[in-house]
Amino acid sequence: MDAPSLTLAEAAAILQPPLTERQLRAIVTALAWQPSGHRRTGRAGRPAPAYDAAMLLRLGAALAPFTRG
């Protein structure tokens, strides 16, 4: 069974303190994380990259002391 994954938009909606999708994208790019898969969002265009949910949640926790929220 595959590990749960989240798109950056989904992660931005649940992370505390909140981060924007744009902030998450910049951080994930800087860390050179590769998506664990892709998910159709119901919108036209390419499927959205999905990342390991546990990694995104740990990232949010690690950044908490450095964010205003």
* Burial profile 25-46: b = 16 or more Cβ within 10 angstroms, e = fewer: eebbeeeeeebbeeeeeeeeee
What are the boundaries of each domain within the chain? 5-66
CB 5 within 8 A of CB 48: no
- Whole-number pLDDT of residue 57: 92
- Express each pLDDT in 50-60 by its tens digit: 999 999 999 98
- 3-state SS of the chain is CCCCEEEHHHHHHHCCCCCCHHHHHHHHHHCCCCCCEEECCCCCCCCEEEEEHHHHHHHHHHHHHHCCC
Average pLDDT of the chain to the nearest whole number = 89
pTM of the model: 0.84
Residue 42 or 47, more confident? 47
- Express each pLDDT in 20-33 by its tens digit: 999 999 999 999 99
